[in-house]
Structure 1
Amino acid sequence: MEFCKDEDCGGLLVSEKVDGESVMKCRDCGTVHDVDGSYRVTETKEEDPMDRLNVNEGANNESTRPTTNKVCPKCSSDNEDEKEHEWWMEQTRSSDEPPTRFYKCRDCGNVHKEYD
């Protein structure tokens, strides 16, 4: 974290691009500071729980997951046609929240989830 070097300010500097060049700009007074070798700009990406899903099947496309019959939101006609789904649970939220239940349709491969 870097702060404005202006004597009267001291505000937080944030990274911005000005005319294609990276600079550090004060959020309070707007003073632009050139980026020298002492600044390092990084980006963080919020993790999406769907990126961690274990949807891979074993050898010969055989799964060892339990199954249930459920309406598939993608391939069931009139939302009354129950299809066989594999299901599993993962802790995608904080530990004091219930786990998320995932279903994978064996007909179309669609993965959908339910929260408690």
Structure 2
Amino acid sequence: MQFCDECGSMMHTEGDTWVCRSCGHEELRDSATEESMTTTEDQADDGIVDMSDVDDAEIGPTTKVRCINPDCDGERARYEMKQIRSADESETRFFTCVECGQKWREDDH
């Protein structure tokens, strides 16, 4: 990846030249310099993940916590942390009971 010396925007390749689409600045490409650059490739996202062969115990971290479902005696839940408020506030922990699948968030009860 190459950044423009004039405006700092990301440059794009056009043949043997780096071109800034923001300010129009151009630089000749240097193959020796480009060999040391890190590149990434887009991977296709099928959208659907088959979890049918995955044991529930292998899905995410668990913690000891009492299920909020009154019909369940579960005392273990998987959890995940998500930032749902502004960045200066703490994350919210979401639980899923490993026994009954009940979902809740930490501040719901």
Q: Same fold (TM over 0.5)?
A: no
Q: TM-score range by the shorter chain?
A: 0.3 to 0.5
Higher share of residues assigned strand = 1
